[in-house]
Structure 1
Amino acid sequence: MKLYGIVGWKNAGKTGLMERLVTEITGRGLSVSTVKHAHHVFDVDQPGKDSYRHRQAGATEVLLASRKRFALMHELRESEEPSLAELLTKLSRVDLVLVEGYKRDAHPKIEAFRAVTGNTLIAPDDPTVRAVASDSPVEIDRPVFDLDDTVAIADFILSEVGL
């Protein structure tokens, strides 16, 4: 599977860019899966629901299934957070996996950047950031795209991974 990341600081536009890229790339007939790193504890089900009760009772994994989708929840309990490489082995085969976050991992990435946040660029200190998608001009030794130019960004990613 081909892998490409979208990184950036909070409120840089990562999720919106991911959403637009998935729409654009799947619209070209390619299959895409996504991985999103969360820096906080999260729950995909709700207190009181059967799957939540199964997990609370101590189940290591709960697979919730319907005719439209399934979700596999794996409780880490006392284990460490799995690496991106470990998580990728759990995905079905697709043409491209887009990863939001995991900025310290070695896969190629585009940095989403919004000047209004006041954050500095990640790219100058990270050679795995191959380009920047920004809402304002940026001086850097790599390609810079308009943050809203989804077609050009998708073209760049697909060219980078050979699709």
Structure 2
Amino acid sequence: MKCVSRFALFIVGGATYLLVLVFMLVWDPDQGRLWHLVLMAVAVGFARASIATISSTLLGMLFVCQQEAAFGNLCFWQSLGSAAILALGIPQSMCAYHVISIVICILVFALGMYCLLELRLKRERTPGEKKPEKEAEGKEMTTEMLAIAEPTNNEISIDC
């Protein structure tokens, strides 16, 4: 994510997942070879890894003071989604076409919500805001840094 933005990586992962699902809709498994399955597995692995990584990063960034609750909710909703996919896949009467179509709809909805969240985060930043510069390790604090770091009275203030 240092070389590519968070938004671009999430969109590439979501688009990869979407392409695999669309390919599964039009693919005839009787005509396929083993390399089709391997390629789909690699693409889904990349997509899921990028989406999960970006989601975790975004939660850590948005809920700095409530990380336990945020990651607990993430695990809950991921488990609920897995249970829903399992429930959709269990009935023998439901065609694979319908299951894939439902997953595509959910994926497009999630990508849209993520885009809205990124747009909202971008709007909240002020145009003149600078990113905090990384300090080199082992560098001594200057008197200006100490004046900012130390509270003026004996109270400890927490920004959270």
TM range (shorter): under 0.3
Q: TM-score, normalised by structure 1?
A: 0.24
Q: Which structure features the higher share of helix residues?
A: 2
Say which structure, 1 or 2, has more relative contact order (CA 8 Å, 6+ apart).
1
